[in-house]
Structure 1
Amino acid sequence: MLVQVVKSKIHRVRVTQADLNYIGSITIDETLMEAANLVEGERVQIVDINNGERFETYVIKGDRDSGTICLNGPAARKVAIDDIIIIIGYGFMDFEEAKSFKPSLAFPNETTNRLD
């Protein structure tokens, strides 16, 4: 049996941009992507701490060390610049493997969106 578990998480990062006219997705600083073990095109869940919104989109790689967190397309309507969000990636794995699996977690500075 396969179960879906948290694979990756960027916990409490600040939205720096929202671009309604882009085709969709979330642009994430490449350094944060690597720290959380996320890949470009991966499906992620976004949880907005400020307004309680929960939605899914996919990842686009942003400039390394830029601190960029940009919601694009329709997702731009779900957040405001400076909102604090959590980005969660999930993976499917064997039930037994899931029991001992440890997700990749990143805890950036909320002001700079950088890892301290």
Structure 2
Amino acid sequence: MLRCFLRSKIHMATVTESNLAYEGSITIDKELMDMVDILPYEQVMISNLNNGERFETYVIPGKPGSKEFCLNGPTARKGVVGDKIIIFAYCYMEDGEVKDFKPKIIKLDEKNNPISPIPSP
């Protein structure tokens, strides 16, 4: 049986831009993507702590080191600059794979700098 598990999480990112004219997605600093193993064009779930919105989109890599989190296209309606968001990526695993699995999780400060990995339970 396949089960769905959290694979990666970026916790408390601050939205740096909202671009309604773009075709769609979220742009994320490539260095931060690499830290949690999120790939370009991978589907993610986003939860906005400021307004309670929860939505799915895909990731576009941003300039490494830019600390950017830009809501593009229709997702720009789900948040504004300064909002705090959490980005989740999930995976499906067989029961036997779950025992030793640990998600990759980072927490960010108000300027989108990693402040600590969040220990997995």
TM-score band by shorter chain is over 0.9
Contact 1:3–1:98 under 8 Å retained in 2: no
Unaligned runs of 5+ in 1: none
Q: Which residue of 2 aligns with 1:15?
A: 15
Moved over 6 A (4+): none
Question: What is the count of residue pairs matched by the alignment?
Answer: 115
Unaligned runs of 5+ in 2: 116-121
Deviation at residue 114 of structure 1 after TM alignment: 1.5
Give the partner amino acid of 2:61: K
Q: Take 2:84 and 2:74, find their aligned partners in 1: how far apart are those partners? A: 18
Query: Could you say what secondary structure the match of 2:51 adopts?
Result: coil
**Residues 1-116 of structure 1 mapped to structure 2, 5 A cutoff:** 1-109=1-109, 111-116=110-115
Identity score, percent:
47
User: So what's the TM-score if we normalise by structure 1?
Assistant: 0.95
User: So what's the TM-score if we normalise by structure 2?
Assistant: 0.92
- Deviations 1:59-102 (Å, cap 9, x if unpaired)? 00001111100010000001011000000000111122123310
Query: Could you say what secondary structure the match of 2:99 adopts?
Result: helix
